Amino acid sequence: MGQPPGAPTTEFPQPHPDSTQTPTADEFARRRAVRPPEPVATMGLRAAMRRSTLGLVRMPPGRKEQEFIRSIETVRRNFGGLRQVTVVNPKGGAGKTVAVLMIAMTFGQKRGGYVLAWDNNETQGTLGMRAAQDFHQRTVRDLLRDLDHFRGPTGRVGDLSQYVRAQGEAMFDVLASDESATAGEMLTANAFRDIREVVSRFYKLITVDTGNNVRAQNWQAAIDATDQMVVTMSARNDSAETAARMLDHLEQTGRHQLVRRAVTVVSMPPSRKDIDLPAIQRHFSARTRAVLLAPYEGLIDSGEPIRYSLLTQATRDAWLKIGSAVAEGL
């Protein structure tokens, strides 16, 4: 029976009866390979121009926005497996803990989780103190005691939440070290390897905070498992010299390539007065792959737990650039 006049057709075109070619799935899938739309600025004056003209003027992203986009793409790329970033400097106050948290936040927010910040201090650490607090105060020693639960088929990622501290909107977790000055014996190399074997089942990226003793077993074990090393320092000669001597130690123990591929992060003070920044940059540029500056941030300098939502945009942008440099080595 024919359709009433004016009724919409419900039939699809049929192939010509003489046609010898049958459509394939590959031909159907090629429809996705269309040319992507031209990028349009979403930041700065170029974006303001588009909004003010109701879209009549559509300018491409400027240089700063292009760098921002490239940094995000680099951070988000597939690393092909578990990767470990280890943050080092034997001097206290060199910015290691802050760097671990900010790198983890950058990767967590831009990649979408599966990131762990781990305090591998041989005794007492501060990562748990600077991180956002959670419903429990368990530490790496509690996890070490209960590792057998996670080695078998019964261990689940949900159970791990009893030992790690979720960082909410920052989209990563923290495994704190013991915060007591009388915690007991120092962690061993085997302890580090056992913990890493378990957490590697649940995370794609691990950022490791380290202590101040380069001879400690767990410090050495962390270095041996490192894919990308980050050397931190304040913009002071003593902090930089301690880092330089640590690089000497690593080179003398056969880790030349780890040093050469490292990223150096210099934490800036409120004022650049009386600091010899060019000398620091020259030395570490000659020894490591990149030297980047982390701007002064009063919220970080306070020593209180970091409230990620209150960080300035300048700080976020700087750590995105640092995260991109780290990702290039992964």
Structure confidence by residue, pLDDT tens digits, 237-282:
899 999 999 999 999 999 999 999 999 999 999 888 778 899 999 9
Question: 3-state DSSP call for residue 294?
Answer: strand
- 244-270 core/surface letters (b: 16 or more CB in 10 A; e: else): eebbeebeeeebeebbebbbbbbbbee
Give me the pLDDT at residue 44, please.
Answer: 64
H-run or E-run covering 52 = helix 44-52
Give me the pLDDT at residue 232, please.
Answer: 98
Give me the pLDDT at residue 186, please.
Answer: 76
Here the tokens at position 93 are 């106050």
* Residue-range domains of the chain with CATH: 40-76 (no CATH), 79-328 (3.40.50.300)
Measured between alpha carbons, how far is 96 from 91 in angstroms, rounded to an integer? 9
Here the tokens at position 261 are 């591929």
Give me the pLDDT at residue 52, please.
Answer: 67
Give me the pLDDT at residue 41, please.
Answer: 62
The DSSP output letter for 43 is S
Give me the pLDDT at residue 156, please.
Answer: 79
Measured between alpha carbons, how far is 93 from 95 in angstroms, rounded to an integer? 6
Q: Are strands 173-175 and 228-234 parallel, antiparallel or unpaired?
A: unpaired
CB atoms within 10 A of CB 235: 21
Q: How many residues does the structure list for the chain?
A: 330
pLDDT along the chain (330 residues), means of 10: 55 58 77 68 65 67 80 93 96 95 96 92 86 90 90 78 93 88 74 94 95 94 98 94 97 97 96 87 97 95 92 96 97
Give me the pLDDT at residue 1, please.
Answer: 52
**Tens-place pLDDT, residues 103-121:** 999 999 998 879 999 999 8
